[in-house]
Amino acid sequence: MSDSTLAVTERVVRTIADVALENEFYFAELDGVVGDGDFGLSLANGFRKLMDEWDTLDRSSPGTFLKKVSMIITSRVGGVSGAIWGTGFMRAGFAAGDKAELTADDVIAMLRAAEEGMKKRGQSDVGDKTLLDGFIPAVDELERVLKSGGSTQEALDAAAVKAREQTEVIKPWIAKRGRAAYTGERSMDTYDAGSIAVAVMAETIAASWPEISNP
């Protein structure tokens, strides 16, 4: 991680927010194929509110900052999506604790805490055709590359590739969670909006890492 972990954390969250806002209607269109089409709109509403309150967020530590992000996302993103995304940020924040500087191991622990929280809150797991089918394999790849001695950039690049690959892997599946699950076999051969969002976010973070890591 950079010497200024808080600044890097802010830039990562800001990048995620930018992706949500810039792809609001694209994500909604994807969700509308077998869902209710509100995923992109709800996600953007949450991050738009976050941007409105950006300058007022508590920045006493990266963990505290992430917990404040969680509270806003949870309150403004509708339905289960808000709870799942908010839980992810909240669990990551708790895992970070009060540490001012975070190591690579800390970040992996935060991501693992986030995935466990999202699993529990969404009552879902890998194989259900949700964002977890992109998020968890991407984190696995991030950890694998870092543990093998790869740089942060190499790990992020590999995670982004894995996240994108997963959108195609799960496309033929029948959705088991969310509104798409109600459509049964109609959900086959359709993209999952959540996993697409994870892929775009991972790709954007990887592409922007030189700027993100040098506040």
pLDDT tens-digit readout, 128-162: 899 999 999 999 999 999 999 999 999 999 999 99
- pLDDT 10s digits, 86-105: 999 999 999 999 999 999 99
pLDDT of residue 175: 78
pLDDT at 3 (0 to 100): 41
Query: What average pLDDT score do residues 69-96 get?
Result: 88
Q: What is the CA radius of gyration of the chain?
A: 16
Task: Report the candidate in 140, 120, 122 with the shortest Cα–Cα distance to residue 130.
Answer: 122
* Angle 196-200-206 from CA coordinates, rounded to 5°: 145
Show the tokens assigned to 163.
């996240």
The Cα diameter of the chain in Å comes to 50
Residue 183: is its pLDDT beyond 70?
A: no
Comparing 116 with 36, which gets the higher pLDDT? Answer: 116
Per-residue burial over 37-57, b if 16 or more Cβ lie within 10 Å, else e, is bbbbbbbbbbbeebeeeeeeb
pLDDT of 2 over the 50 cut: no
pLDDT interval class at 185 (50, 70, 90): low
3 state SS of 171: coil
Crossing angle (nearest 10°) for helices 79-96 and 39-52 = 50
Q: Tokens 């995935």 correspond to what residue?
A: 115
Q: Rounded to whole angstroms, how far apart are CA atoms 23 and 186?
A: 24
Is the pLDDT confidence value at 187 over 80?
no
Report the domain count for the chain: 1
Q: Which residue has the tokens 């930018």?
A: 18
156: which residues sit within 8 A by CB, 6+ positions away?
Answer: 142, 202, 205, 206, 209
Q: Is the pLDDT of residue 168 over 60?
A: yes
**Enclosing domain of residue 26:** 5-212
Amino acid found at 82: G
pLDDT bracket for residue 186 (50, 70, 90) = low
Placement of tokens 């992000």 in the chain: 69
CATH of the domain at 134: 1.25.40.340
The pLDDT tens digits of the residues spanning 42-60 come to 899 999 999 999 999 999 9
d(CA 10, CA 96): 14
For 33-42, 91-100, 200-209, which range has the lowest pLDDT when averaged over its residues? 33-42
Q: CA-to-CA distance for 19 and 33, rounded, in angstroms?
A: 21
pTM recorded for the entire structure? 0.92
SS3 207: helix
Two tokens, residue 120: 């529990």
Q: How far is CA 59 from CA 16, 98, 175, in A?
A: 18, 11, 39
Q: Does residue 30 register a pLDDT over 50?
A: yes
Predicted pLDDT at 215 = 64
Distance in angstroms (rounded) separating the CA atoms of residues 77 and 45: 6
Write down the mean pLDDT value for the chain: 90
pLDDT band of residue 124 (cuts 50, 70, 90) is confident
**Which pLDDT score is estimated for 122?**
85
Question: Quick one: pLDDT band at residue 198, thresholds 50, 70, 90?
Answer: very high
